[in-house]
Chains A and B, each alone.
Chain A
Amino acid sequence: MTQIVQSFFNLAILKAAFGFLMKGFGMTILLCLTVIPLGLAGGLTVALLSTVKNRVIRWLVIVYTDFFRAFPPLVLLIFIYFGVPFIGIDLPPFIAVALGFLLNNSSYYGEVFRAGIESIPRGQAEAARSTGLTRLQTMAYVIVPQATRNVIPDLISNTLEVVKLTSIASVVALPELLYAARQAQAVTYNATPILAAGFVYLICLWPVVRLLSRFEHKSISLH
């Protein structure tokens, strides 16, 4: 028991590593504030492209989406960070992570927005067009606002996954929360910093999980 407390909940170590961990936490927040808006914008673009008349574009969107559904994000990140420099393009970790997340998340958010757009009856677009709105105006003022509202639970659920996924940035030495925790563990020979990082994720994301759980129990039904 004392060994568990010594190794996992060591207050002296926590005190020493606290500032370092909080710096990492700050980086995680900065990363989230970068990749979530980028992903949402990319996803909306992907979804809008899937509604155009041009078949080639629609087909490309499907290929893009399926590609990233099949491709593990960590593999993508490793490819960008360790693979791309070989043709002479050196990317700093933050840019590499942002780029990887943009590519990956655009496909996931794109699927969510597409489902939302498909949930709006055709008549709405026809009515809007017949009042003289252009195609773009119809999308911007009529379809997208309703579509977004219909998929809010899925958007939140996807965003939760994105926040959790930022932890893989530690693999390319971006000093976010998990990376800071592992550094602190390496220096102190003690697991407390890692457990502490886990607690930080837990405290931040638990409310979101509770909220989603409520949505889910309501949304699945037989009728």
Chain B
Amino acid sequence: MLHRFLFSYFNREVMAQYLPKIIEGFFLTIQLAAAVVVTGILTGLLLALIRSFRVRVINFAIVLFVDVLRALPPLVIIIIFYFALPTIGIRMSGFVATWLSLSLVLTAFSEEIFWAGILAVPKGQWEAARSTGLTFIQTLQSVVLPQAVRITIPPLTNRTIAITKGTALGAVVAVPEILFQAQAGLTFSYNPSPLTLGAIAYLVLFFPVVYFGRWIETRFAWKR
């Protein structure tokens, strides 16, 4: 029984054979995750800033966008981009479909978090800053944002980790990231050891991120 277990999940030969592929997948996952984090958070911040101008039509559009992307499962969005859009002539690679989908989802969540942070800064601070002669932009930049960003960091970190783990969904649309490589290895070798390698690769990648998230939580907790 133990022998069979080791032969199946920790088969050295199979592991040695598929390790290079898993490492390739590992770096692709990092690229995809980094692209999603940068695009998602920057666009989310931008939308929250636009929302603070309180133009009714624009804000309505932002809320609609955010709501839709929070209500739809990320896998459904990826599949719409990859399998549905080509039927009207819009084609994109699995990588682009996954990057775009997860970025949009992260944009929606981070916009909500940044906006809640901006709202959390009391009105009096706006008024005080404006009355000292700061412009709207200056107030936003030097008074409101520094405080808003600080209280939004813990929820934002957690949400970002959760969405970044969604890069594994790329395997469904043939993005050769960790999970895809691991599944391909399983199919070719008829041995699940590549899955074990893939699992280890995810832990190596995300354990530090989770610990960083915990550290951030305790670091900023007392300020709230």
Point out residues on A near B: beta carbons under 8 Å: 3-4, 7-8, 66-67, 69-75, 78-79, 82-83, 86-88, 160-161, 164-168, 170-171, 178, 182, 185, 190-191, 194-195, 197-198, 201-202, 205-206, 208-210, 212-213, 216-217, 219-222
In contact, B80 and A70 (Cβ under 8 angstroms): no
In contact, A69 and B71 (Cβ under 8 angstroms): no
Q: Does residue B149 face the partner (Cβ distance < 8 Å to A)?
A: no
Chain A contact residues: over half helix, strand or loop, or mixed?
helix
**8 interchain residue pairs of minimum CB distance:** A191-B84, A70-B206, A164-B73, A72-B168, A205-B71, A167-B73, A83-B192, A72-B165
Task: Give the tally of cross-chain contacts (CB within 8 A).
Answer: 158
Point out residues on B near A: beta carbons under 8 Å: 1, 4-5, 8-9, 67-68, 70-77, 79-80, 83-85, 87-89, 112-113, 115-117, 119-122, 147, 151-152, 155, 161-162, 165-169, 171-172, 178-179, 182-183, 186, 191-192, 195-196, 198-199, 202-203, 206-207, 209-211, 213-214, 224
In contact, B75 and A168 (Cβ under 8 angstroms): yes
In contact, B76 and A167 (Cβ under 8 angstroms): yes
- C-alpha gap A74/B78 in the complex (Å): 14
A-B contact pairs, 22 of them (CB 8 A): A7-B88, A66-B207, A67-B203, A69-B213, A70-B209, A72-B165, A74-B168, A75-B198, A79-B192, A185-B83, A191-B84, A191-B85, A198-B77, A202-B71, A202-B72, A205-B71, A205-B72, A209-B67, A209-B70, A216-B116, A222-B120, A222-B147
In contact, B179 and A178 (Cβ under 8 angstroms): no
- Contact residue among B72, B191, B199 (Cβ-Cβ distance under 8 Å from A201): B72
User: Nearest residue in A to B195 (C-beta to C-beta)?
Assistant: A83
In contact, B179 and A74 (Cβ under 8 angstroms): yes
Chain B residues with CB below 8 A from A69, complex form:
161, 206, 210, 213
Q: A82-B186, A209-B67 are in contact. Are A71 and B202 (CB under 8 A)?
A: yes
Chain A residues with CB below 8 A from B166, complex form:
72
Chain B residues with CB below 8 A from A194, complex form:
76, 79-80, 83-84
Chain A residues with CB below 8 A from B206, complex form:
69-72
- C-alpha gap A70/B213 in the complex (Å): 11
In contact, A197 and B76 (Cβ under 8 angstroms): yes
Given A72-B168, A83-B186, output 7 extra A-B contacts at Cβ < 8 Å: A66-B211, A67-B203, A72-B165, A79-B195, A178-B73, A216-B113, A217-B119
- C-alpha gap A74/B169 in the complex (Å): 7
- C-alpha gap A222/B209 in the complex (Å): 26
Chain A residues with CB below 8 A from B67, complex form:
206, 209-210, 213
Chain B residues with CB below 8 A from A75, complex form:
168, 178-179, 182, 198-199, 202
In contact, B87 and A178 (Cβ under 8 angstroms): no
Chain B residues with CB below 8 A from A86, complex form:
8-9, 191-192
In contact, A87 and B4 (Cβ under 8 angstroms): yes
In contact, A8 and B88 (Cβ under 8 angstroms): yes
Chain A residues with CB below 8 A from B192, complex form:
79, 82-83, 86
- Contact residue among A67, A167, A209 (Cβ-Cβ distance under 8 Å from B71): A209
- C-alpha gap A83/B10 in the complex (Å): 12
Question: Which of B75, B112, B122, B161 lies at the interface centre, i.e. has the most chain A CB atoms within 10 A of its CB?
Answer: B75
- Contact residue among B120, B165, B172, B186 (Cβ-Cβ distance under 8 Å from A220): B120
Q: How far is the CB of B12 from chain A (nearest CB, A)?
A: 16
User: Nearest residue in A to B192 (C-beta to C-beta)?
Assistant: A83
Chain A residues with CB below 8 A from B211, complex form:
66
Chain B residues with CB below 8 A from A72, complex form:
165-168, 179, 202, 206
Chain A residues with CB below 8 A from B151, complex form:
220, 222
- C-alpha gap A160/B73 in the complex (Å): 10
Q: A82-B186, A194-B83 are in contact. Are A222 and B121 (CB under 8 A)?
A: yes
- C-alpha gap A82/B77 in the complex (Å): 25
Q: How far is the CB of B183 from chain A (nearest CB, A)?
A: 7
